[in-house]
Amino acid sequence: MKTKLVYSEKCLGYGTWHIEGPQRVKIAHDILQEKGYSFVEPTAATEDQVLNAHDMEYLWNLRKGMVEDSDTPAYDNIIEFACLSAGAAIVASKIGGFSLTRPPGHHCGRYGSALGVYTRGFCYLNNIAIAVKDSAKKTLILDIDGHHGNGTQEIFLCDPKVTYVSVHQSPNFPGTGKVTEGNCINFELQPNVGGNVYLVTLDKALSCVNPKEYEALAVSAGFDTHSCDLASLGLVTEDYYMIGKRVAALGLPTFFVLEGGYNGQNVGLDVDSFLRGYEENR
């Protein structure tokens, strides 16, 4: 049975000029619809759900449009789009689905950016962190985005209920994730290493954890590792099938949240390849 995708056309309503624009999700949606996936409409995360992962003052500032990074602008009503994307992650966690919404979230820490500004890296709320906190389950988070999820690490560092594993490009934004810290396991890769090196490294990263210790798996599913994307590790569509196969082998109830990936055509094909790898091997 195909994994259900959580999606709303409302997430297309901001940022038409930006690289993290609606086209990357709209094109991916249309490709996946053609391939026979079904879609679930999300509801917005509540304030209480958001505050499980974020500070109240940060939320107030976000409502007032107090952002300090040109890559993460103060769009009109951005809090509404961010809460909808966070809500989509929560729905995905409940149904074992894939949240195909925007804005992404893994650079957003408890107080906004873990780098000292309110928002950064196209992220306003940490969708996957909000969903994991809402579930209250002992969770393994696997981050396959090409950029390190500094916000997710900041929220969960030293949390006994969560282990965070990231395989990401370095050097690249945000410049974190250089070493493993406690329950946050980080593996760096040089740009454009290709699928074989990536998969060997992913296997090493996953060998650091025992899946039997967890109740759930949450995947920050970024596809900017695709060749020529913003954090290229030289991957091609077929490589994501093999990543999905490894996710399935962990044998855990799993949900997925879209992070990066800025070529909509590639995102659609890569999500399909990834989910087929997962579905055909679990």
User: Is residue 107 annotated as a catalytic residue, yes or no?
Assistant: yes
Q: Which of 14-18, 244-248, 268-272 has the lowest mean pLDDT?
A: 14-18
Q: Which structural domain range is residue 184 located in? A: 5-279
Q: Which of 107, 147, 148, 168 is catalytic?
A: 107
Average pLDDT score over residue span 215-237: 98
Q: What is the pTM of this model?
A: 0.97
pLDDT, one tens digit per residue, over 236-247 is 999 999 999 999
CA angle 119/39/244 to nearest 5° reads 75
| Confidence (pLDDT) at 118 | 46
Average pLDDT, the chain: 95
Phi, psi angles (nearest 5°) of residue 99: -80, 110
Give residue 221's Cα distance to chain centre: 5
Q: Structurally, how many domains does the chain consist of?
A: 1
Is the pLDDT assigned to residue 113 strictly greater than 80? no
Describe the crossing of helices 264-279 and 22-34 by its angle, rounded to 10 degrees.
Answer: 50
pLDDT at residue number 117: 46
> According to the model, what pLDDT value does residue 67 have?
76
Region 111-117 average pLDDT: 62
pLDDT over 80 (residue 140): yes
Closest CA to 109 of 100, 101, 118, 99: 118
Tokens 């999300």 appear where? 42
Tokens 């967890």 belong to residue: 214
Is 60 exceeded by the pLDDT of residue 119?
Answer: no
Q: What is the CATH number of the domain that holds 69?
A: 3.40.800.20
Q: Does residue 229 register a pLDDT over 50? A: yes
DSSP, residue by residue, 60-115: HHHHTT----TTS---TTHHHHHHHHHHHHHHHHHHT-EE--SS--TTEETTEETT
For 37-53, how does the pLDDT look when each residue is reduced to its tens digit (9 = 90+)?
A: 999 999 999 999 999 99
| Mean pLDDT in residue range 253-279 | 98
Q: Is the pLDDT of residue 253 over 90?
A: yes
pLDDT (average), residues 72-89: 95
